[in-house]
Amino acid sequence: MTREQVRKAVLDIISDIAPDEDLSTIKDDENLRDQFDLDSMDFLDIVMELRKRFNLEVPEKDYQELVSMASSVAYLFPRLKDYELVS
Amino acid sequence: MAKDWLKGIKSAYDTIVIGSGLAGLTAANKLAKLGHKVLILEHHYNMGGLATWFKRKGGHILDISLHGFPTGMIKTCRKYWTQEIADSIVRLKNIRFDNPQFSFWTNFDKNDFTRLMCEQFGVVKETIDDFFKTVRAMNFYDDLSMTTRDLFEKFFPGRTDVHRMLMEPITYANGSTLDDPAITYGIVFANFMDKGVFTFKGGTNELIKKMKKELLKNGVDIRTHCMVDRVVVDDKKTVRGVEVQGRMIPSTTVLSNSNLLSTIHKLTGDEHFTPEFLAEVKKVRLNDSSCQVYIGLKRGEKIDNVGDLLFTSQENEFSSESLLEPETTSRTFSFYYPETRPGSKMYSIVASTNARFKDWAHLTRQEYENKKSQLIERTLDALEKYVPDVRKKIGHLEASTPQTFKRYTTHPGGASFGTKFEGLAISKDLPKQIGGLFHAGSVGIIMSGWLGAANYGVIVANEVDKLLHSMRETKPELETASV
C-alpha cells in the first residue's frame, strides 16, 4: 500500500464508524477527537477494523499513535506497505 | 424423554458465550460479525439477563431494568447492533425528585442540572461548571484514593442536598456509594447526567426480539434452557469448551457473561487458578441486590403523567446505608405509559429499591411472604402521594426480592449491579490465568448498566478476536478437539 492508500483506508474506517461526521474537513495534523465526535470505543473499533481488513494488530500501548490522521499514517504505513490491496 | 435443548448445534465453536445479558449478547454479535462461529448458552427461557421483562395474565408486561440509560446507548446500538434498534431509542423528559430536602422536575441534562443548582441550591455557576469539567475529565487511570464523598465535599462542602441530587440517581443505577472511588462516579455521571436519559420504545421484549433476529442473521447459534455445568480446562491451562447437560461442546474460547465470582469459583474451579490470583479474587466485593414491586393497571384504567422516573424518599438526608434497609422509603418509580409500547393501552409502574441479600435470606416461607407483603404495602402507600387511589386501579401486583434476583440470574447474593471497582481488573486478567477464558458482564461499577455492559461486551470481544486471529495465523488449520 502507498501512503495515500493507507490514509484512505483509515478514512474509510472512520466514515464507517462515524457516518454522521463530515470527514471532508479533516485536518491531518490535528487530534481526531478534537475534530470529530469520537470516543474511546470508536478507537477500539478502528483497531478491530484494522485487524479485520489488513490483518494488522495494534497493541494497546500503541493506541496513542492513532491520535491524528498524520500520526496514524506514520505509524501504519511501515506496517502496511507490503500489504497488497486486491483491486 | 426430555427435550434436547442443544439439538442442531455445531460440533465445535470459536467462542461459546455463557449467559445472554447485554454484555454477552453484544459480544456474541460483534464476534459473529467478525466471522467467528459463536454459540450462546442461556439457562433461562428468555435472553437479556437483567435486561428482561415478564408477562402476566390480563395483558401486563413488566420491565425489570428499563429505567433509563444514557445517550451513548444510541451509538452503541447503531455500531454493534442495527440502525433500527438505535432508532427505537427515545428520550425521557420528565424526571422527578421528591424528598424532604427538595422537590422538582428535570429533563436530566447538564443545562438543567446547572439551572437547578443555581436556582434551587444557590450554588455559584463557576463552581458548577468547574465540577462538570472535573468529572468529565476523570478517567480510568486517575487516582483511586479520592472517594465520591471527597469529590462532593471539595466542590459543595456540607451541602447534603446537592450531594443527594448528584448521588441518588447513580446509586439506583449502579449500586455505588459515596465511599466508592470518585472516578467511578465521574465516568458514569459524565455519561448519564449530561445529555438526558433515554429508553427503548417497544419495551425490553421488543429490544431483545430485535437483537435475537440480528444474532440469528449473523449466524449465532442460540440455545436457551441450557445451564452450563462447567468450563473445561486442560492441563496446559487452556480452555477446551464447556460441559452442559452431560455433553462436552468444544470451543477455542469461552466468554462467560455469568457473574465474575461464579465464573471463577463455580464454572471454572479454583484449582485452575494461581494462589496469588485467588487472593486477589477474595478481595472482590459483590455489589448489592434489589427489591422491586410490579404494578399493572387494569385494562381501561389510566393515570396522568406524573413523570417517567421518580426518585422519592422520606429520609432527611441521603445515606448509602439507609437506602439498603428493608424498610427504606428511598425508591425509584418507573412509570410506563401506553407510549412505551405503541399499540398498547396498558399502564404499568415498577418501584425499585436497593437491597441486601442477607436481609432476605434465612427466612421461613411465611416470614418471607409477610415481608414481601409489607414491601408491597409500603410501596403503594408511597405511590398514593403521586397517584391518588392507585389501589383501586391495580390489576396485577407482585414483588421480587434479592432471592428472586438470585434465582433468575444465578448471581451470588442476587447481585444486581455486578461487583465493586476491584472486580474489573480480575475480569480483565482472567485470560492471563487460563488461555481462552474471558469474562464480560457487570463489573467495576463503570462497566455496569445497559450501556456499560454492552460496551464492555465489545471491549472483551476485541480481546477474543485478537486471540482467535493470532491462533489462525500460527495454526492455519487449527484442529478442534473431538467430542
Q: What is the mean pLDDT of residues B235-253?
A: 97
Chain A residues within 8 Å of chain B (Cβ atoms): 17, 39, 41, 44-45, 47-48, 51-52, 55, 57
**What's the CA gap between B177 and B175, in Å, rounded?**
7
Residue B111's alpha-carbon distances to B50, B116, B118, B353, B448, in angstroms, are 31, 9, 11, 28, 25
The DSSP secondary-structure symbol of B457 reads H
Distance from CA of A47 to the nearest CA of B (A): 9
pLDDT (0 to 100) of residue B368 = 97
Q: Which residues of A touch B429 (CB under 8 A)?
A: none
Tell me which chain A residue has its CA closest to the CA of residue B459. Answer: A44
Q: What is the mean pLDDT of residues B199-210?
A: 97
pLDDT band with cut points at 50, 70 and 90 for residue B475: low
pLDDT tens, B391-431? 999 999 999 999 999 999 999 999 999 999 999 999 999 99
| Close Cβ partners of B322 (under 8 Å, ≥ 6 residues apart) | B315, B328, B330
**What's the CA gap between B401 and B130, in Å, rounded?**
40
pLDDT (0 to 100) of residue B151 = 96
pLDDT (0 to 100) of residue B232 = 98
Q: What is the mean pLDDT of residues B150-174?
A: 95
pLDDT band with cut points at 50, 70 and 90 for residue B18: very high
pLDDT tens, B95-145? 999 999 999 999 999 999 999 999 999 999 999 999 999 998 887 777 788
Distance from CA of A60 to the nearest CA of B (A): 11
pLDDT (0 to 100) of residue B150 = 96
Query: What would the grid cell of residue B310 be?
Result: 421518580
**What's the CA gap between B242 and B266, in Å, rounded?**
13
> Could you report the predicted ipTM of this complex, rounded to two decimals?
0.94
Interface test with A, best of B26, B34, B75 (most A CBs within 10 A): B75
pLDDT (0 to 100) of residue B194 = 85
pLDDT (0 to 100) of residue B480 = 47
pLDDT band with cut points at 50, 70 and 90 for residue B477: very low
Distance from CA of B456 to the nearest CA of A (A): 10
Q: What is the mean pLDDT of residues A30-38?
A: 92
Element of type H or E holding B206: helix B203-217
Mean pLDDT of chain B: 94
Residue B482 has pLDDT above 60, yes or no: no
The DSSP secondary-structure symbol of B320 reads T
Instruction: Give SS3 for A46.
Output: helix
Q: Which residues of B touch A39 (CB under 8 A)?
A: 72
Packing angle of the helix pair A40-54, A3-17 (nearest 10 deg): 130
Q: Which residues of B touch A45 (CB under 8 A)?
A: 79
pLDDT tens, B341-366? 999 999 999 999 999 999 999 999 99
Distance from CA of A8 to the nearest CA of B (A): 21
| Close Cβ partners of B330 (under 8 Å, ≥ 6 residues apart) | B99, B168, B312, B313, B314, B315, B318, B322, B323, B353
Closest by Cβ to B79, choosing from A45, A52, A57: A45
Closest by Cβ to B466, choosing from A41, A45, A57: A57
Q: Which residues of A touch B469 (CB under 8 A)?
A: 51, 55, 57
pLDDT > 70 fraction of chain B, expressed in percent and rounded:
98
Closest by Cβ to A44, choosing from B459, B469, B470: B459
pLDDT (0 to 100) of residue B472 = 86
Residue A62 has pLDDT above 90, yes or no: yes
Residue B217 has pLDDT above 60, yes or no: yes
**Highest mean pLDDT: which of B29-43, B143-157, B174-188, B460-474?**
B29-43
Distance from CA of A59 to the nearest CA of B (A): 10
Q: In this structure, which amino acid lies at residue B398?
A: E
Is the CB of residue B34 less than 8 Å away from at least one CB of chain A?
Answer: yes
Cβ–Cβ gap B462/A57 under 8 Å: no
Cβ–Cβ gap B458/A41 under 8 Å: yes
Closest by Cβ to B34, choosing from A44, A52, A55: A52
pLDDT (0 to 100) of residue B351 = 98
Closest by Cβ to B465, choosing from A17, A41, A51: A51
pLDDT band with cut points at 50, 70 and 90 for residue A87: low
> What DSSP line would sit under B58-116, residue for residue?
TTEEEESS-S-B-THHHHHHHHHS-HHHHHTEEEE--EEEEETTEEEEE--BHHHHHHH
Q: In this structure, which amino acid lies at residue B438?
A: F
B149-185: burial string, b at 16+ Cβ within 10 Å, e else: bebbeebbeebebbbbbbbbbbbbbbbbbbebbbbbb
pTM of the model: 0.95
pLDDT > 90 fraction of chain B, expressed in percent and rounded:
91
Residue B474 has pLDDT above 70, yes or no: no
Residue B445 has pLDDT above 50, yes or no: yes
Backbone torsions φ then ψ of B241, nearest 5 degrees? 155, -160
pLDDT tens, B31-66? 999 999 999 999 999 999 999 999 999 999 999 999
Q: Which residues of B touch A50 (CB under 8 A)?
A: none
Cβ–Cβ gap B79/A48 under 8 Å: no
Q: Quick check: B42 and B20 in contact, CB under 8 A?
A: yes
Closest CA to B418 of B110, B176, B222: B176
Is the CB of residue B194 less than 8 Å away from at least one CB of chain A?
Answer: no
